[in-house]
């Protein structure tokens, strides 16, 4: 019984994050607290610290469409590895409780697709960063890179 109480108290003490994709800047600030860095006008980014996580939210047309999550704890100059259980938990909480399916492929990174196919996630194993983004954001970034390359 005592073990169960300890586990329950640990679960309650963990910072709860929920999907911010699609939320406005005001909703994200309500959810995550005051931004540590506000680069909204320059690059559409707000940076937050919530518990032991850094959260970088990108906004397009006033709505969050990309979240980058990584540990605030340092491990030889890089954020600490989030680990499989933490990644699974973050996908659930930050990905809108969507059912996540690992995508097959030849990569050292973890890649998942949401149940509705509108969101996907990548865990960069070298940088220890989980990125959850809409497919629209991905296609927009891809097109911007293509335009930048052609403009040269």
Which helix H or strand E contains 32, and what residues bound it?
helix 25-32
Structural domain contains residue 1: no
Structural domain contains residue 2: no
What residues contact 76, with CB distance under 8 A and at least 6 apart? none
What residues contact 70, with CB distance under 8 A and at least 6 apart? 53, 54, 79, 82, 127, 128, 129, 130
**pLDDT tens for the 152 residues of the chain, in order:** 443 333 333 333 334 444 578 889 999 999 889 999 999 999 999 999 989 999 999 999 999 999 999 999 887 888 999 999 999 999 988 887 678 999 988 789 999 999 889 999 999 999 999 999 999 999 998 898 888 888 87
C-alpha–C-alpha distance, residues 39 and 36, integer Å: 10
Structural domain contains residue 10: no
pTM above 0.85, yes or no: no
**Helix (H/G/I), strand (E/B), else coil: 141:** helix
Domain membership of residue 76 as a residue range: 21-151
Structural domain contains residue 7: no
- The number of domains in the chain is 1
Token digits for 62?
């006033």
Structural domain contains residue 121: yes
Structural domain contains residue 102: yes
Decide: 117 and 103 in contact? Cβ < 8 Å: no
């Amino acid at each position: 019984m005592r073990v169960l109480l300890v586990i329950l108290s640990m679960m309650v003490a963990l910072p709860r994050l929920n999907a911010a994709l699609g939320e406005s800047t005001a909703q994200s600030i309500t959810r995550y607290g005051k931004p540590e860095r506000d680069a909204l006008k320059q690059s559409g980014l707000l940076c937050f610290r919530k518990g032991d996580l850094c959260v970088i939210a990108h906004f397009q047309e006033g709505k969050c469409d990309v979240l980058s999550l990584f540990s605030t704890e340092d491990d030889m100059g890089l954020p600490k590895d989030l680990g499989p259980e933490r990644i699974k938990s973050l996908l659930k909480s930050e990905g809108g409780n969507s059912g996540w399916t690992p995508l097959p492929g030849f990569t050292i990174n973890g890649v998942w697709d949401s149940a509705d196919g509108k969101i996907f996630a990548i865990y960069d194993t070298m940088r220890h960063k989980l990125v959850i983004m809409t497919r629209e954001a991905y296609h927009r970034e891809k097109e911007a890179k293509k335009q930048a390359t052609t403009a040269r």
